[in-house]
Amino acid sequence: MAEDPAFPGDTGMRPERRSAAIAVADVVGSSVLVGMAPDAAHQALTHLQDTALVPLAVAHGACFQRSTGDGTLVEFPSADAALAWALAAQRAATATAADPRSLPIALRISIDVGEVLVAKGDITGQCVNIAARLQEHAPPGGLALSEAARQALTAPPPGLVNIGSVSLRNILGQVRVALLLPECPPRVPRPAPLEGRPAVAVLPFHAEDADEASRYFNEGAIEDIILSLGALHELAVIARGATLGWAAETYDPPTLGRMLGVRYLVSGRLRRRGDGLRLRVDLHETQEGDQLWSERFDIPLREIFLVQDHVVERTVAGIAPTIRAAELRMALRKPPQSLTAYDHTLRAMHALDGLKRDTFRAAEQHLQQAMLDDPGYATAAALAARWHSLAIGQAWSENPANDAAQLRELAHRAVRLDPRNALGHAISGHFRAYHLRDPESALPHLRRATEVGPSCALAWTLLSGSLSYLGRGAEALEAARRGLALSPLGADRYYYQFFEGLAQHVIGDQAAAARSMRLSLAESPGFTSAHRILIAALVAQDECAAAQAVAAEMMQCEPRFRISHYARERQPFADTALGRQLLDALRQSGAPD
């Protein structure tokens, strides 16, 4: 490439060897910028080159400069001159991006020193190659210096961070590197995630009254929301640092979605109200900018930190099912040949909603296809394990032993693929509790599920089940209500209501247990587990006629049900008294022995 006319360079007659410092500046995410707004991006990049990078290079004694379109390579006579230019260039880029309406242009700059060869209007050498590769390790808005460059400086800048040796592409050996981090991370555009999961960004909440209490609450709540959403494996949540500098009140959702590479945005507005704070949290999709969900919270200042967990829990409980519903609508509109593993998984979850026998097999087919399309997708394997568990529990299995083996293998596969997959740990635990009838050994797996996925509703709910099977009703009820709170609007609410009712039955609150079971059956009339606990709750209240009516409904759903077989194979209670009470109630209801 020809040299810039602003620099004398060589005459092209004979090569020249000389010692030099090479600085390389690159615009972060330039391909994303060009893809989103090609004309504006070209204009902004050209303006930065013409008004800042080139004039500053001349001012700091550059010997040679080459434009790379989205960056620049400059030769200086010394490392000190290269550093002075790099710092000035970063200040210029920061000033350019100071207007929040401008494109987010941030530079990565690297410096190396060594011998170069200048010939035919170009510059080559090992230090040129190292500098070009080294900029990939520089932080946006900051610098990366090789050890040779650092030692060549008269006065290294304060704040250099030694990160040790790194490998560079197409460079033999390793290079020791020191970084200079920016005082304030700049805005940078992000490419959309390559994986199929929808990506969501949680923006800093806009605080109208930036006092200390609102600032602490703002930072803590956002961090907790990001961590909680990140534990849900159906979402890809971008890091908090990527959203710094972006404000929902300055940009519209489509612009932010393109810049951050996300499909969904969570934003909030925090203001003082009397002796407390009022927070409004919104969820927008970024294609059309539509608001999908919103909730308002009033937070007393005296309880600000006590309320924070509640705000986070309610926010996650509103966002997660809303995004799932939006993604499902898109997946259902796609032709079968274009479905991804994630789309197949969504369709499987939809087919399982309500536990209807006529859609149950379709769920299995979608999960099998998802695992074929993406063998490393842990969530598909965990959901497939749950499918086999439900098949056994509903007596829909034609071969329970085979389904149990498949359940165990798939649950273990999910955990192997992703040790932080809460659903896989939860299903592994439930397999031990319900299918092996050993709830005590299930507890470590279920506790692990709630640790790695504190926002996974099913993990808390299945933990509640094991505690109920052991007769630990108070603990079971607490876990069940945690699971129900995390999934208040989901189509599988019937499942969470069942386990709440199971815990109520265990602690002896039979009226509450009966109410919960009727709510569960209202949403999933074929869920025979709820029939059985409802029968037990009714018999305990001497409502035998009502229990007989429920038993008749259960037999319509499960005509082959026999108490003797159920006692041997599926009766879940490890607590002997609870197990005997359930079987006695089934006999009193008239269910066949």
Domain of 162, CATH number, reads: 3.30.70.1230
Q: Are strands 291-300 and 122-124 parallel, antiparallel or unpaired?
A: unpaired
Determine the Cα angle at 27 with ends 144 and 139, to 5°.
30
Residue whose tokens read 């004039």: 55
Same domain, 489 and 583: yes
Residue whose tokens read 């008749």: 552
Contact (Cβ atoms closer than 8 angstroms) between residue 498 and residue 519: no
Residue 360 forms part of a structural domain = no
Contact (Cβ atoms closer than 8 angstroms) between residue 147 and residue 79: no
**From the CA atom positions of the chain, what is the Rg in Å?**
31
Longest dimension (CA), the chain: 107
Contact (Cβ atoms closer than 8 angstroms) between residue 6 and residue 65: yes
Instruction: Report how far residue 9's alpha carbon sits from residue 64's, in angstroms, rounded to the nearest whole number.
Output: 6
Residue 593 forms part of a structural domain = no
Residue 358 forms part of a structural domain = no
Q: Report the 10 Å Cβ neighbour count for 225.
A: 25
**Backbone φ/ψ region at 168: left (φ over 0), alpha (ψ -120 to 50), beta:** beta
Same domain, 209 and 171: no
Give the pLDDT of the chain (593 residues) as one tens digit per residue. 334 444 544 445 567 889 999 999 988 877 777 766 677 777 888 888 888 888 999 999 998 888 766 778 999 999 999 999 999 999 988 887 766 667 778 888 999 999 998 887 788 889 999 998 898 888 888 899 999 999 999 999 988 888 888 888 778 888 898 988 887 777 777 665 545 678 888 888 887 766 666 677 777 788 778 777 876 767 778 766 667 666 666 677 887 787 777 889 998 888 877 777 888 899 998 888 889 889 898 888 777 767 777 888 888 888 888 888 888 777 777 787 778 888 888 888 888 887 888 899 999 999 999 999 889 888 899 999 999 999 998 889 989 899 999 999 999 999 998 888 888 899 999 999 998 899 999 999 999 999 888 878 889 999 999 999 999 999 999 999 988 877 755 667 889 999 999 999 999 999 999 999 999 999 889 999 999 999 999 999 999 999 999 999 999 999 999 999 999 988 999 999 999 999 999 999 999 98
Residue 361 forms part of a structural domain = no
Task: State the DSSP code for 185.
Answer: P
What lies within 8 Å, CB to CB, of 505 at 6+ separation is 468, 513, 533, 536, 537, 540
Residue whose tokens read 């961070």: 161
Residue 63 forms part of a structural domain = yes
Same domain, 458 and 583: yes
Q: Which of 279, 314, 331 is the last residue of a domain?
A: 331
Q: Which domain holds residue 95?
A: 16-180
Same domain, 385 and 323: no
* Adjacent-strand bridge partners of 123: 118
Residue 49 forms part of a structural domain = yes
Contact (Cβ atoms closer than 8 angstroms) between residue 437 and residue 572: yes
Domain count across the chain:
3
Q: How many residues does the chain have?
A: 593
Instruction: Report how far residue 296's alpha carbon sits from residue 302's, in angstroms, rounded to the nearest whole number.
Output: 18
Predicted confidence at residue 366, as pLDDT, reads 93
* Adjacent-strand bridge partners of 521: none
pTM of the model: 0.62
* Adjacent-strand bridge partners of 117: 17, 124
Predicted confidence at residue 194, as pLDDT, reads 45
Predicted confidence at residue 1, as pLDDT, reads 34
Q: At 546, which CATH number?
A: 1.25.40.10
Residue 497 forms part of a structural domain = yes
